[in-house]
Amino acid sequence: MPPPIDHPCLHLHVLPDMFFVSKLEPIEPVPQSIINHLSNDSRFLSLTRTPQNEMKTSIVGQWHDGIPAAFEHEAVWRCIKLQGPMEFSLVGVLAQLAAPLKEAGIGIFVVSTWNTDYILVNASNLETAVGALRVDGWIFVST
């Protein structure tokens, strides 16, 4: 049975800022300014390092002054946030959320946290993505 998309924890918010999605090469260190933002800033930032493919690191975050200029050309994403917090007993949420985006031909980048999920779409596809999700029954609320 699919999750109840009308439940408030599954309402969607379009976050107002642009986001960047970047990767670092295996020997490339995480920029010090990114590390500083982890402890000194309340904006969204996700670092993921995996041992596969020679230790690649993915960095996803809200674009703002202070982020290295090298990431600016990658700040072409908008973020749709599930309100959360979600219980781990809810299954299939991402699959159900991704299905109408797949049907609309929209690629996504997903970041999951303990409480919720974030779906990033290219900024040029945001209006189409929101429309497809609304038609599918998802509820958007303002932040």
Task: Determine the straight-line distance between the first and last CA of the chain, rounded to whole angstroms.
Answer: 29
Structural contact between residues 94 and 79, judged by C-beta atoms closer than 8 angstroms? no
Tens of pLDDT, residues 63-119: 887 777 887 888 899 999 999 888 877 788 899 999 999 999 999 999 999 899 999
pTM for this entry: 0.87
6: amino acid identity, one letter: D
The residue among 120, 124, 132 whose CA lies nearest residue 14 is 120
When the candidates are 1.10.10.10, 3.40.190.10, 3.30.2130.10, 3.40.50.1820, the CATH number that belongs to 1-17+76-143 is 3.30.2130.10
